[in-house]
Amino acid sequence: QQQVKQSPQSLIVQKGGISIINCAYENTAFDYFPWYQQFPGKGPALLIAIRPDVSEKKEGRFTISFNKSAKQFSLHIMDSQPGDSATYFCAASEFWGATNKLIFGTGTLLAVQP
């Protein structure tokens, strides 16, 4: 079963607009929620992350909103730019032995039109 559900599958936004991607999880043992950005032909790279003890984290134009009771979190990209066009993955993680086990959402392909 898909432990981390992500929507929408694809998103088209005008330059300067707000991009919103939503994720939901089931496992309450998850204790770390990162977002990764992936450009074509490249590996995913960490964009921003949040722990469940805070409800919001902002870094520049990127904000994570976290609702622990609803087991949902979302990424907001303010003032979206064409350079933000990429695939975005939410993820949830739990500490597993001596490593952390990341479960990824299905990804959202974002296209920002100039």
Partner 1 sequence: DTAVSQTPKYLVTQMGNDKSIKCEQNLGHDTMYWYKQDSKKFLKIMFSYNNKELIINETVPNRFSPKSPDKAHLNLHINSLELGDSAVYFCASSQDSPTSGQETQYFGPGTRLLVL
101 lies in the site for partner 1, by CB under 8 A: yes
SS3 content of the chain, % helix, strand, coil (to 5): 5, 60, 40
85 lies in the site for partner 1, by CB under 8 A: no
To the nearest whole angstrom, how small is the minimum distance from the Cβ of residue 93 to partner 1? 5
CA distance 23 to 43: 21
Nearer to partner 1, 15 or 92 (CB): 92
Can the peptide bond before residue 8 be classed as cis, meaning omega within 30 degrees of 0? Answer: yes
42 lies in the site for partner 1, by CB under 8 A: yes
Q: How far apart are the first and last CA of the chain?
A: 38
12 lies in the site for partner 1, by CB under 8 A: no
Coil, strand, or helix at residue 83?
Answer: helix
Q: Which residues bind partner 1 (CB under 8 A)?
A: 31-32, 34, 36, 38, 41-46, 49, 51, 87, 89, 93, 95-104, 106-107, 109
